[in-house]
Amino acid sequence: MADIFLSDARVNCLSGMGQIGAAEYLSMVEAVYRESGGIEGQRAPLKTKTGINIRKRMVEDIKNGALLPPIVLGAVVGDEIFEAASKVESNEAFVHLLRSIDKSRLSIIDGMQRTTALDAAMRDSNIDGTNIRVDLWLAKSLDSLVYRMLVLNTGQVPWDIKRQLETIYKQVLLEIEKGATEITVFEIDSKERRSGAGQYRSARIVELFLAFTSRKPHIELKEKVAEDFARMDATEATANQDTLPVFIETMKLLARFDQVLSKTTCSEDLVTDSTRFKEGRDIFTSAPASIGFAAAAAQYLLGKPGYAFTFSEMRLKLERLTSAVQIVIDKVSSEFVDYATLNEKISARSGRIGEYEREFFFRAFELMFNDAAQLQSLTPCWSAYK
């Protein structure tokens, strides 16, 4: 293999180092993120005094010809580009390969702040002749690339994990939309609101991923320690090449269940101004319900949190989980859902409501997955959390 690209045998990736003009690089990145607010929309500007001063210093240094550390890009590509990369022997060929990659498939793994500084320097001064170094990671599968992204970004400050994963998971969201026609994803800055089943914001899907990889419904990302553990869990989970496809399959199950629930309603004589769930669409509009579903599915598939991930039977367990959800779907009606019990139980707790509701739905779906065949209604599920 040529020296331009090296092989990462652990996750079947290629990493190649080359240089490209700053103006062309910014054009590539702007094309990738145009719909979500451009370069600056991907990461909030640093607001601390120290951070602002560092940013200004970086911009001035760029104008004065400073050489920045390499910016790391990643892309999921087909066999043709993957094979072509192994034959690249010059920087000219490297740039040609980079230009040939679908720009919507590019992700910035490391270098968002440098990119923003480059953009500012370009607008303030003529740096057209400036070249930057690019470390390009190529993978054939999403799970390999996401695993590499998480490892490279672990411990970085101040980019919080949710924003980080929203950018990383741009490719996953594209795969979900392509492979699951029942799911509509609203981008992070989209003004659209959920108006029907199967519609989820990208931020919600990221939250579901964190619940899935942590295998528990309580992830409080405001706490730094919890954030670090969530990142570690995500990294370990994506080390297995089946995890991301299984998460996407779980999202499909959630959407299918969401669709059938949306056809049911609470009886009018039970509806009051304080009724929480008046129709089926309301259930998964609720963050606790969707998070509880993801966490319960993860425990069903991967085992309980704290124990090592059990990947060996994951595919077989997915078949069983799919069967269980389908059994329930075939039974669903307004009477089967039992809105009276659901609304009564969900309104029973006045303190720590968010925590209570996540645990409530987690226990409900845990029981539903395990006892699907025996259920005559969802009443036992709504009563599972005492």
Residue 224 has pLDDT above 50, yes or no: no
Q: Which of 98-107, 131-140, 259-268 has the lowest mean pLDDT?
A: 98-107
Q: Minimal CA–CA distance to 243: which of 182, 315, 305, 316?
A: 315
Pairwise CA distance, residues 352 & 164, whole Å: 28
Is the model more confident about 359 or about 230?
359
Residue 4 has pLDDT above 80, yes or no: yes
What's at 262, amino acid-wise?
S
Q: Whole-model pTM? A: 0.66
Q: How confident is the model at residue 216 (pLDDT cuts 50, 70, 90)?
A: confident
Sign of CA pseudo-dihedral 306, 217, 260, 255:
negative
> Are 35 and 97 a contacting pair, CB within 8 Å?
no
Residue 47 has pLDDT above 60, yes or no: no
Angle, nearest 10°, between helix axes 287-302 and 243-261? Answer: 140
Going by the DSSP 8-state scheme, the letter that residue 374 receives in this structure is G
Helices vs strands, H then E, count in the chain: 18, 7
Pairwise CA distance, residues 290 & 208, whole Å: 7
Task: Write down the residue that tokens 């490719």 correspond to.
Answer: 171
Q: Per-residue pLDDT tens for 244-302? A: 788 889 999 999 999 999 999 999 988 888 899 999 999 999 889 999 999 999 999 98
First-residue to last-residue Cα distance in the chain: 61
Q: How confident is the model at residue 191 (pLDDT cuts 50, 70, 90)?
A: low
Partnered with residue 74 across adjacent β-strands are 107, 137
Q: Which of 30-34, 141-145, 256-260, 315-319 has the lowest mean pLDDT?
A: 30-34
What's the pLDDT at 206? 78
Q: What is the DSSP string of 224-264?
A: HHHHHHHHHHHHHHHTSTTHHHHHHHHHHHHHHHHHHHTT-
Q: Per-residue pLDDT tens for 65-77? A: 888 889 988 888 8
Pairwise CA distance, residues 38 & 36, whole Å: 6
Buried b (16+ CB within 10 A) or exposed e, 200-215: bbbbbbbbbbbbbbbb
Average pLDDT, the chain: 81
Please confirm whether the linkage preceding 158 is cis (ω < 30° from 0): yes
Q: Per-residue pLDDT tens for 297-339? A: 999 998 887 777 777 888 899 999 999 999 999 999 999 999 9
Residue 114 has pLDDT above 80, yes or no: yes
Mean of the pLDDT values across residues 73-89? 89
What's the pLDDT at 41? 42
What's the pLDDT at 37? 32
Q: Which of 86-100, 138-152, 344-358 has the lowest mean pLDDT?
A: 138-152
> Are 35 and 162 a contacting pair, CB within 8 Å?
no
On the CB side of 180, how many CA atoms lie within 13 Å of its CA? 26
What's the pLDDT at 19? 93
